Structure 1
């Protein structure tokens, strides 16, 4: 009788050991799959407000704002569509002089933090550095010469955008963006470039560099 009891105890212990191992393995597998398939928000709405700048001439009361939508295909790469407005003024009285500039752009977006260290995506991290680069279309209107029509320009746009997450869905950030305009026919004082002696009377316009420095919010959603 004792031998039977010992045998049953032995088999019971072996069965419990087997089940414990299988359960542990199953829990590790589930945990691994859950961690590996981490859900992330892939759609962001970005709103920024700040200033515009150029090398020359000196501007007064420069204003910039933009609105964009970003879609991330994963934790690193995505695309961004945005609209931006810049107000350039060189004089307010007795005659207001300057430009109003509207632009739209299509850009590639990259989470530089995740690109440099792919493991960082799994950290409990509140700080990210985003970058963006692309092409766009700009329409400028002279305030100095209101009847002069529109200046239509192609541009290259590039920038860097450090962000700090306030909540899981909301981040605050600083965006520094540069733009290269091709064949701009109005200078930032609103006059034609070919009337300015700096450009030697060329009727073909000139390439210019513009920068924006802005503070913004980014709201992220979607799975």
Structure 2
């Protein structure tokens, strides 16, 4: 990740810390890259470690934005040439809470539950860790989308599960690190579990939606 991207992330964070409704989202989990490997290489179906850390600002209970950093490590399965690689991403996403909409169609959910759909653009940075590709880094744009279920333990702390998929646009390397003759669009699935910590005392789980009965 170059200095410009790091500076941009820091500026976004500083500009958001003055917001009233700010949360810190921290998660760990697993990943599964799409089958975009050169001959002889194949990743495990389920890989660890995946880490996600982000700052989310909710304009209201239903709508918000998030800037997050994700880290994925994956490696060879038993039938593959041995390799390991890291893939790091940075994304800016919109978050939309479906909870009120489900109430509108008479689906009753716990008061402290939130179901978010989220999506947004970003950058991916691939770093192979094994010979002969360990010096071949690359970067490309990506688009991420997912579904996250949050449950409030207290007004300030919630636990969540998040299933998301991001698509690397114009990827220049196979996932193990070999250079591509033509750029491709590849994907990686993430499943993370974690905790959300509110930086202020606002409670977005305590307001019941209006029922049009």
Q: Same fold (TM over 0.5)?
A: yes
Q: Which residue of 2 aligns with 1:151?
A: 138
Q: Give 1:157 shift.
A: 0.4
Whether contact under 8 Å (2:43, 2:77) holds in the other structure is no
Gap regions ≥5 residues in structure 1? 1-40, 195-202
Q: How does 1:94-109 map to 2 (within 5 A)?
A: 96-109=82-95
Q: Which structure would you say has the larger Rg?
A: 1
The number of equivalent residue pairs is 170
| 2:176 maps to 1:189 | yes
Which stretch shifts more, 165-174 or 183-192?
183-192
| 2:88 maps to 1:88 | no
| 2:147 maps to 1:160 | yes
Q: Distance in 2 between matches of 1:82 and 1:172?
A: 17
Q: Distance in 2 between matches of 1:221 and 1:147?
A: 40
For residue 50 of structure 1, give the secondary structure of its aligned residue in structure 2. Answer: strand
Whether contact under 8 Å (2:72, 2:87) holds in the other structure is yes
Q: Give 1:177 shift.
A: 0.8
Bigger fraction of residues in strand? 2
CA deviations on 1:130-163 (whole Å, 9 max, x unpaired) are 1211000111111231122x21110000111111
Match for residue 112 of structure 1 among 98, 113, 121? 98
For residue 182 of structure 2, give the secondary structure of its aligned residue in structure 1. Answer: coil
Cα RMSD (Å) of the superposition?
A: 2.6
Q: Which residue of 2 aligns with 1:70?
A: 56
Q: Give 1:42 shift.
A: 2.0
Q: Distance in 2 between matches of 1:218 and 1:101?
A: 24
| 2:110 maps to 1:132 | no
Whether contact under 8 Å (2:88, 2:125) holds in the other structure is yes
| 2:185 maps to 1:212 | no
Q: Which residue of 2 aligns with 1:53?
A: 32
The TM-score with structure 2 as length reference comes to 0.72
For residue 168 of structure 1, give the secondary structure of its aligned residue in structure 2. Answer: coil
Q: How does 1:171-182 map to 2 (within 5 A)?
A: 171-182=158-169
